[in-house]
Amino acid sequence: MASMIFTDCSSSTTKARLLPFSRILLLRRRAAGVTLVRRLATLPNSSSRRPLTLRSSHSQSAYVTGIFSLATEKSATAEVIDGKAVAKQIRDEISAEVMRMKDAIGEVPGLAVIIVGNRKDSATYVRNKRKACESVGINSFEVPLPEDSTEEEVIKFIKEFNDDPSVHGILVQLPLPSHMNEENILNAVSIEKDVDGFHPLNIGHLAMRGREPMFVPCTPKGCIELLHRYGIDIKGKRAVVIGRSNIVGTPASQLLQREDATVTIVHSRTSNPEEITRQADIIISAVGKPNMVRGSWIKPGAVVIDVGINPVEDAKSPRGYRLVGDVCYDEAKNIASAITPVPGGVGPMTIAMLLSNTLISAKRAYNFQ
């Protein structure tokens, strides 16, 4: 996560910022609950791709306009891509599949998480994963290890989980203490149980035509899933991925290309990022810089998937900060045709995709269709 800084879209100091953040969220949640979830409930299950064709259905988006007319006192044009509602639907689908598996073969998927040390944020992430597992019926196994554990001790636990047939996914919560070699530890995870999808062999298969990865990394998989579920065409489109990290940017660009987009990766050495990004029909931003992507970077009608979750100072928030994306939302929402909010966009999708990967792994292990 980027260090906390104060920043905002300087040209867009709208009334939205004066409205307490929790109220906007509340409204959004309510609207999503009423309108979007009802629409999502009519979908077939997640295995069918592009179940919805919402992109051009702006006339149906009264709930979006509704929220933002309250918030900004002018109507917004972008469809809000509600990651929270989609993630909930996916979790419901996974839950049903886990139950079907249990009924048929008496087994459920299992996810093991190893956490080293006492970082508060890591503890929160691990707790959220455990809760998410419980909510869909996936068994979760947790190994908390002291900060001064050795690399060998961590690898010993990984190997036990590698050999344990009731475990189908193994996660090592990052970051690890600085005395450990992250690459050595991650490489110890069996490729069949690497539900994070970070193994180089997975990335290689993802990059290659005619090959299939065992697992697709969760966050980029979540981005593509949002595009699918909102019926947004990828084939033949120009796509720009901002950021080239191993865990989001690179695999996101590979996934877009597998679906026949024409992809450009914009990064810190790109000399004219604004000009290139403005050519994109689909933008996925994953750089961790608050409000970096301004309205002027976005082609009218483009779809914006904002992976950034950046804390910025906010004296009005009880916590003293609030979370914003890489994209200047207030500017973008008037230009894009669809956009993910932060929070509530890509964020909730990551854990949903982790559960999805764990289910896929268990189905493969038990040869259960």
The least CB distance from residue 202 to its own copies, in Å, is: 7
Q: Does 202 bind its own copies (CB under 8 A)?
A: yes
Q: Please identify, among the stretches 17-25, 80-88, 143-151, 249-257, the one whose residues bind its own copies according to the rule CB under 8 A.
A: 249-257
Q: Do the Cβ atoms of 249 and 219 come closer than 8 Å? A: no
Q: Does 219 bind its own copies (CB under 8 A)?
A: no
Question: Which residues 252-291 are close enough to bind its own copies by CB under 8 A?
Answer: 254, 257, 260, 262-267, 269-271, 276
Listed in order, strand segments (DSSP E) in the chain are 79-80, 110-116, 139-145, 169-172, 238-242, 262-266, 282-285, 303-306, 310-313, 321-324, 338-339
**Spatial distance between the Cα atoms of 206 and 349, rounded to a whole number of angstroms:** 20
Q: Does 7 bind its own copies (CB under 8 A)?
A: no
For residue 4, give Cα distances in angstroms to 97, 177, 322, 324: 40, 22, 10, 11
Q: Does 74 bind its own copies (CB under 8 A)?
A: no
Q: Which is nearer to its own copies, 169 or 213 (CB)?
A: 213
Specify the pairing of strand 238-242 against strand 169-172: unpaired
200, 300, 301, 320: which one binds its own copies (CB under 8 A): 200
Phi, psi for 139 (deg, rounded to 5) = -70, 135
**Spatial distance between the Cα atoms of 246 and 332, rounded to a whole number of angstroms:** 26
Q: Determine whether 129 is an active site residue.
A: yes
Q: Which is nearer to its own copies, 25 or 276 (CB)?
A: 276
Q: Which is nearer to its own copies, 147 or 260 (CB)?
A: 260
Q: Please identify, among the stretches 25-33, 97-105, 168-176, 231-239, the one whose residues bind its own copies according to the rule CB under 8 A.
A: 231-239
Residue with tokens 């306009």: 65
27, 52, 123, 207: which one binds its own copies (CB under 8 A): 207
Among 82, 84, 194, 196, which one carries the catalytic annotation? 196
130: left (phi over 0), alpha (psi -120 to 50) or beta: alpha
Tokens of 185: 């530890």
Q: Which is nearer to its own copies, 98 or 186 (CB)?
A: 186
118, 128, 184, 246: which one binds its own copies (CB under 8 A): 246
Q: Determine whether 257 is an active site residue.
A: no
For residue 33, give Cα distances in angstroms to 36, 59, 105, 160: 6, 18, 35, 42
244, 298, 340, 351: which one binds its own copies (CB under 8 A): 244
Q: Please identify, among the stretches 113-121, 153-161, 165-173, 234-242, the one whose residues bind its own copies according to the rule CB under 8 A.
A: 234-242
E strand or H helix at 25, and its extent?
A: helix 21-31
Q: What torsion, rounded to 10 degrees, do the Cα atoms 206, 189, 140, 367 define? A: 60
Q: Does 26 bind its own copies (CB under 8 A)?
A: no
250, 285, 334, 361: which one binds its own copies (CB under 8 A): 250
Q: Which is nearer to its own copies, 10 or 178 (CB)?
A: 178
Residue with tokens 């269709």: 369
54, 172, 180, 203: which one binds its own copies (CB under 8 A): 203
Residues whose CB falls within 8 Å of the CB of residue 56, separated by 6 or more in sequence, listed in order: none
Q: Determine whether 369 is an active site residue.
A: no
First to last CA, the chain: 38
Q: Which residues are known to be catalytic?
A: 129, 173, 196
Q: Which residues bind its own copies (CB under 8 A)?
A: 199-205, 207-211, 235-236, 238, 244-246, 250, 254, 257, 260, 262-267, 269-271, 276
